Amino acid sequence: MMVKQHMFLTLCSLLGIALKGAQGQFPLVQNVTVLEGSVALMTCRVENNDDTSLQWGNPAQQTLYFGDKKALRDSRINLVRATYHELTISISEVTLHDEGEYTCSLFTYPIRTAKAYLTVHRVPDEPQILGLNKPVMEGDEVTMTCESSGSKPAADIRWFRNGQEISEIKSLKEVDLSGKTYTVRSSLKMQVNQDDDGISYTCQVDHVSLATQPHLATEVLQVQYAPRVEIKYSQPFPQEGGLLKLECVSRGNPVPDPVLWTKDGGELPDLERMIVEGAELTFIALNKTDNGTYRCEASNNLGTDHDEYKLFVYDPNALGPHNTDHALIGGVVAVVAFVTLCLIIVLGRYFARHKGTYLTNEAKGADDAPDADTAIINAEGNHASEEKKEYFI
């Protein structure tokens, strides 16, 4: 009886070991992602193997390797490692056509298989900005379209204005499937003005294959507009005998012609102390005869613009170096004097009115009173008596 029991336990132990070995005979694989043109490594492992062969097959169900034996004539496919516990192969110069589900088979009974998916990414082509005709006119509506083809998966497109991403402008994005790759388009629409002249607009193509080096395409806008003119001066309070510079700043595309200076609607006086150099008008030693309206005018083929400066030459004896502070203090003093005068008038009228009432009351009681106060009391008393008398009647 003891012998039979011992044999039974031994058989159970052997069966358990066999089952454990069979359960461990499963091929283990991982999905692989590579870039087009690179090398893909396909690895299949088995933890417990009783000298059973491993096999790799491609998505078309063709055997690539059976153990260390090559089955498919493809120079791109080579053996890396072949043991009873591992079968690793390499696929060089991977193309999009290599993408798909690969199968690793362990030839036990029954055959056990594991599937690994090979994903192939493709770098997008360099982007192009289409639809921009140079130059454009101020006020025109411009549409720039950025296009990038050949990406897998589909790329993303972003727009930048002088390096700052454009977030408030929504771009239209279209993704077209073409075979195994994608073409991505993004359109940027806007109405241009003079501030857009010389501004660079960049289309950036982001893709998982580009990492930190996205593809870029840049266009610099050329916006034509009529001149804009502004006169800048060197002194806010020009003084007699002093120096003054007037600069005529003109902007325009095309660049405006040389500026024209005039005074009071006519030509500038021919004075040695008045020098014109390009856009600058310089007064060497100011004189009160220089007072007047100076006009600067600039033109191009799109129009003309001007600005004016009214010159008033101050007397240096009347206007010190702290003229601005003096003017401010003078203004404050004037306001204080005006408020004080108003208070005096209001108080004067108030006291005059009360003085009149005092004199009237004094007159009513003055006949029988020795002084003014008694007269007022008598007057008030008479008034009360009269009211009391009238009440009893």
Residue 146: strand pairing partners: 129, 186
Same domain membership, residue 194 and residue 133: yes
**Whole-prediction pTM:** 0.63
Of 202, 221, 240, which residue sits at a domain end?
A: 221
**What values do phi and psi take at 359, rounded to 5?**
-65, -35
- Please check the confidence at residue 304 and state whether its pLDDT lies above 80: yes
258 vs 101: CA distance, rounded Å: 73
- Domain of 65: which CATH number? 2.60.40.10
Mean of pLDDT values over 86-114: 95
Same domain membership, residue 232 and residue 197: no
pLDDT digits (tens, 9 = 90+) for 232-285: 999 999 999 999 999 999 999 999 999 999 999 999 998 888 999 989 999 999
In-domain check, residue 105? yes
Work out how many domains the chain is built from and give that number: 4
- Please check the confidence at residue 305 and state whether its pLDDT lies above 50: yes
Mean pLDDT of the chain: 82
Of 198, 221, 244, which residue sits at a domain end?
A: 221
Positions of E strands within 21-111: 32-35, 40-45, 54-57, 63-66, 69-70, 77-82, 86-91, 100-106
- Please check the confidence at residue 93 and state whether its pLDDT lies above 80: yes
Position 355 scores a pLDDT of 53
**pLDDT over 70 percentage in the chain:** 77
Q: Find where tokens 């082509």 sit.
A: 125
pLDDT digits (tens, 9 = 90+) for 114-170: 999 999 999 999 999 999 988 899 999 999 999 999 999 999 999 999 999 988 666
Q: Is 321 in a helix, a strand, or coil?
A: coil
Structural domain boundaries, residue 238:
226-311
In-domain check, residue 206? yes
Of 311, 327, 360, which residue sits at a domain end?
A: 311
306 vs 302: CA distance, rounded Å: 14
Helices H, strands E: what count in the chain?
3, 25
Same domain membership, residue 345 and residue 282: no
- What Å distances lie between residue 322 and 73, 318, 327, 329, 336, CA to CA? 96, 11, 9, 11, 21
